[in-house]
Structure 1
């Protein structure tokens, strides 16, 4: 019998479009790769302007969570747009993505947040949480983001907000395997 160690269908390995690294080939990773190609091939960003796979670590109530930030786009050394992928409904992805945009940089909030399920997207104002635009076509092109850069501030996070935003990430990104019961998959990494 084959050893199963993941809740995801694993097809083998693939080469990361941005970095050339070898990654585990899953459905989710295929969507991430499509989004990376979209940013470069359709939106005009250079690969060097996109930082993949950043992480934020949180520990609350004894629960350690590693939150994944799929892509951060920088222009002229400024982080301007954070993109998080997640399958399913976009509305359920908004709050943790906004929390990540608010705490990732000590210098200030990353002004634009994008949530995508690989087939649709929403562009949000990271300060207010307001949805600015919808659809993959609404993700700003490089020239557009460059024009907007002067008006996009990396404002500091208001005093007293860092811990609540980190708690939001911890709660939303916590993966509970099999609803607290023993996992049916031997040696499962998730949960």
Structure 2
């Protein structure tokens, strides 16, 4: 299943801006609302559709991340992504992107709406499975402090970039990096 435009717009829960409604956008909106209203995440610290550029052999490949959650000092804490299909098949590509993000994102939350995985990106350890394991904002900050770091030398950076590019090229949405979808 791929993300496609529904030729409508909706008001983004986090930003209040009109955005394109896609086959997956209603799920992203529900995730954002759950983080804010049930888990205490401040809206202003959740960045939707953050861009990261992979540079591979002088070519730039943009990737749009569903959400990146920051702390009060603007340090990234969590990369949250909706996955269409078996979550386990998406884990490695998001670990690569979290490691390539500057600065490094210590935690990843992946969900298919039926299940959720909370993962440390430094050591690939799955901390929790299931929606009960989604931390509150305060718990998230504590988990991020305890999470192992990961440093990239040039060899590791190239390997993570190749891996992320390959996975996202295969599983990425039909939507462009700007958020506009194929009609």
Report the aligned-residue RMSD.
2.6
- Range 113-122 or range 140-149, more displaced: 140-149
Give the aligned partner of residue 107 of structure 2: 112
User: Which ranges in structure 2 are unaligned for 5 or more consecutive residues?
Assistant: 172-180
Q: 1:65·1:174 contact (CA, 8 Å) conserved in 2?
A: no
Where do 4+ consecutive residues of structure 1 move more than 6 Å? none
1:54 positional shift: 0.8
Change in CA separation of 1:87 and 1:7 when aligned onto 2, cut-off 3 Å: closer
Residue 39 (structure 1) aligned to one of 35, 39, 44:
35
Q: TM-score, normalised by structure 1?
A: 0.79
1:85 positional shift: 1.4
Residue 166 (structure 2) aligned to one of 154, 171, 176:
171
Give the aligned partner of residue 189 of structure 1: 182
Is 1:18 aligned to 2:14, yes or no?
A: yes
Q: 1:80·1:152 contact (CA, 8 Å) conserved in 2?
A: no
Give the aligned partner of residue 68 of structure 2: 72
Is 1:50 aligned to 2:46, yes or no?
A: yes
Give the aligned partner of residue 148 of structure 1: 143
Give the aligned partner of residue 81 of structure 1: 78
User: Which ranges in structure 1 are unaligned for 5 or more consecutive residues?
Assistant: 1-5, 177-187
Q: CA offsets, 1:61-102, max 9 Å, x none?
A: 797532121111111222111111121110111011111110
Q: TM-score, normalised by structure 2?
A: 0.82
Q: Equivalents in 2 of 1:125, 1:150: separation in Å? A: 11
**Number of aligned pairs?**
172
Q: CA offsets, 1:119-174, max 9 Å, x none?
A: 32100011111211011221111121233344346x35232211211111211111
Give the aligned partner of residue 151 of structure 2: 157
1:14 positional shift: 0.7
Q: 1:49·1:74 contact (CA, 8 Å) conserved in 2?
A: yes
Q: Aligned to 1:17, what secondary structure does the other structure show?
A: coil
1:38 positional shift: 1.1
Give the aligned partner of residue 184 of structure 1: none
Q: Give the number of the structure whose alpha-carbon radius of gyration is greater.
A: 1
Q: Aligned to 1:158, what secondary structure does the other structure show?
A: coil
